[in-house]
Chain A
Amino acid sequence: MDDLKEELKRQLIEQLNLEEITPADIDDDTLLFSDKGLGLDSIDALELIVLLEKYHGIQVTKPEEGKEVFRSVNSMAEYILKRKG
């Protein structure tokens, strides 16, 4: 689980071009879409969907899940593990 979270942080930085951020700057529970967290926007949300498919082979088929899935690295990791069963 910890390895997956570290991997996700590196993937987030690469996929979203977060050049001024390092994995160490992202806590597992940092809010991805809050100004108090990473401050991502709606285009970034689309990039996260691409990220899940590109790196983890997971398609987000229920848009209503997105808000909870993309809340933090923790929630993304839990979702990936759940989907991979």
Chain B
Amino acid sequence: MKFITAYAHLKENICAVNGEMICRRDKDSGDSWFKQIYKQQEFVYPKFHKMDVLSQAGFLTSKLIKRANPQFAEKYKDDEIAMLFANQSGSAETDQKFVHAYRNGAPSPSLFVYTLPNIVMGEIAILNKWYGESLFAVLPEFDPEFYINHCHILLSAGSEAVLCSWLEIAGNQIDVFTFLIEKEGENRSEFTADNLSKIAFAGNLHKTEINANY
């Protein structure tokens, strides 16, 4: 049996951990939405400011999950935590920014390095010194069965926990759902497609029409 032991939602204007809202976007702030969360949660990691939006979203939700589940990282060896991420748009958001910069004559190397969606997992691995398996898939839509099937493989082949994420950012639309799967989890939801759908959908209930300015 496997369990969903922690999860975080990041939407256009709210950020929630285990279903509890922890941060609401201040639309009058001069800071981007993701920077607002970074500052409000008092994270200290200067490299955050160099990341593209996909990596910033992965950084924030993985840090929030670790904070909500502080024993998690200490329970496992550095190669026993796998990562399984997916989205619909790949790194299109950053790809477009790079194309724009290129056409305007000043292509940035630091922007270029984020023109692959799986870089977000590299950032999280570097931050946490995790050396487990990692996979980033581009899918038509959020698919619980994808996570069920691949977590089953990972947890049968040496991994003890899997940090999973649906990490979709396209224009002003933000749909980030990061969750942790472990083999043990007292009083936590069992990792089934039905439970995963319910928890993922719960994040949508927080959505409003406020446009993001991440």
Q: By the criterion CB–CB under 8 Å, are B109 and A50 in contact?
A: yes
Q: How far is the CB of B103 from chain A (nearest CB, A)?
A: 16
Q: A50-B106, A50-B108, A54-B106 are in contact. Are A43 and B46 (CB under 8 A)?
A: no
Q: Is B193 an interface residue (CB 8 A)?
A: no
Q: How far is the CB of B91 from chain A (nearest CB, A)?
A: 16
Tell which of B46, B106, B108, B109 touches A20, judged by Cβ atoms closer than 8 Å.
Answer: B46
Kindly list chain A residues whose C-beta atoms are within 8 Å of the C-beta of B50: 16-17
Q: By the criterion CB–CB under 8 Å, are A43 and B49 in contact?
A: no
Q: Which of B98-113 contact A (CB under 8 A)?
A: 106, 108-110, 113
Q: By the criterion CB–CB under 8 Å, are B113 and A19 in contact?
A: no
Q: Which of A1-27 contact B (CB under 8 A)?
A: 16-21
Q: By the criterion CB–CB under 8 Å, are A43 and B109 in contact?
A: yes
Kindly list chain A residues whose C-beta atoms are within 8 Å of the C-beta of B113: 43
Q: By the criterion CB–CB under 8 Å, are A47 and B109 in contact?
A: yes
Q: By the criterion CB–CB under 8 Å, are A46 and B46 in contact?
A: no
Q: How far is the CB of B48 from chain A (nearest CB, A)?
A: 9
A30–B39 alpha-carbon span in the complex (Å) = 27
Q: Is A44 an interface residue (CB 8 A)?
A: yes
A38–B109 alpha-carbon span in the complex (Å) = 18
Q: By the criterion CB–CB under 8 Å, are B109 and A46 in contact?
A: yes
What per-residue 1/0 map shows which CB atoms of A47-76 lie under 8 Å from chain B?
100100010000000000000000000000
Kindly list chain A residues whose C-beta atoms are within 8 Å of the C-beta of B108: 47, 50
What per-residue 1/0 map shows which CB atoms of B177-205 lie under 8 Å from chain A?
00000000000000000000000000000
Kindly list chain A residues whose C-beta atoms are within 8 Å of the C-beta of B46: 18-21
A30–B110 alpha-carbon span in the complex (Å) = 22
Kindly list chain B residues whose C-beta atoms are within 8 Å of the C-beta of A16: 50, 110
Q: By the criterion CB–CB under 8 Å, are B110 and A43 in contact?
A: yes
Select from chain B the residue with minimum beta-carbon distance to A41. B47
Q: How far is the CB of A34 from chain B (nearest CB, A)?
A: 15
Q: How far is the CB of B1 from chain A (nearest CB, A)?
A: 42
Q: What are 15 A-B interface contacts by the 8 Å CB criterion?
A: A16-B50, A17-B49, A17-B50, A17-B110, A18-B49, A19-B46, A19-B49, A20-B49, A43-B109, A43-B110, A43-B113, A44-B110, A46-B110, A50-B109, A54-B106
- Give 18 new A-B contacts, CB below 8 A, not counting A18-B46, A18-B49, A43-B110: A16-B50, A16-B110, A17-B50, A17-B110, A19-B46, A19-B49, A20-B46, A20-B49, A21-B46, A43-B109, A43-B113, A46-B109, A46-B110, A47-B108, A47-B110, A50-B106, A50-B108, A54-B106
